[in-house]
Structure 1
Amino acid sequence: MITVRLFAAAAEAADAQELTLDVGTVIGLREALAARGDEAPRVIGQCAILREGTRLEDAAALASGDLVDVLPPFAGG
């Protein structure tokens, strides 16, 4: 099981700020989150997935006990 923290639009689209999920890869995480709402596939597909501050590629493995952050694109200046 991994702990997933969702922020801003990702939290809104998945209807949660934190979840515990049983997934083994980032793509599996994206699929699980995308199933959580009508807007979730579009929003989650654009998000960065980070573990310990490092961005992960979709093929990256996730291990039990990982803490993962899901961050949507941010604009600002």
Structure 2
Amino acid sequence: MATLRFFAGAAEAAQTDTATLDAGTIGELRAELAERYGTEFMRVLELCSLLVNGARAGDDAVTLAPTDAVDVLPPFAGG
């Protein structure tokens, strides 16, 4: 199962900082997240970047291994 870490607004929308999901691709992961956390979370997720083991995963076809770490990062600003 892939380990997910939610940050900032994504953590707030999911009401948790971490989760584990069994998904073979980013597309499957998105579908599992929609089922688990609902429509409001998906609105936030659409704005987020997904990083798999530190590398941006922008394509739903990106494969996931059970040992992968996925970070869900909403947009942020700072300086």
Is the Cα contact below 8 Å between 1:43 and 1:72 reproduced in 2? yes
Tell which deviates more after alignment, 33-42 or 49-58: 33-42
- Which residue is 1:19 aligned to? 19
Unmatched runs of 5 consecutive residues or more in structure 1: none
Query: What are the residue-to-residue correspondences of 1:55-66 with 2, within 5 Å?
Result: 55-56=56-57, 57-66=59-68
Size of the aligned set, in residue pairs, is 77
1:71 aligns with 2:66: no
* Structure with the higher helix share, 1 or 2: 2
What percentage of residue pairs aligned between the two structures are identical? 55
Tell which deviates more after alignment, 33-42 or 46-55: 33-42
Deviation at 1:76, TM superposition (A): 2.3
Query: TM-score, length-normalised on structure 1?
Result: 0.87
Is the Cα contact below 8 Å between 1:13 and 1:37 reproduced in 2? no
- Secondary structure, aligned partner of 2:46: helix
Deviation at 1:75, TM superposition (A): 1.9
Q: Any runs of at least 4 consecutive aligned residues in structure 1 with deviations exceeding 4 A, and if so which?
A: none
Q: For the residues of structure 1 that align with 2:34 and 2:8, how far apart are their CA atoms? A: 15
Unmatched runs of 5 consecutive residues or more in structure 2: none
Cα RMSD of the aligned pairs, angstroms, is 1.3
Query: TM-score, length-normalised on structure 2?
Result: 0.85
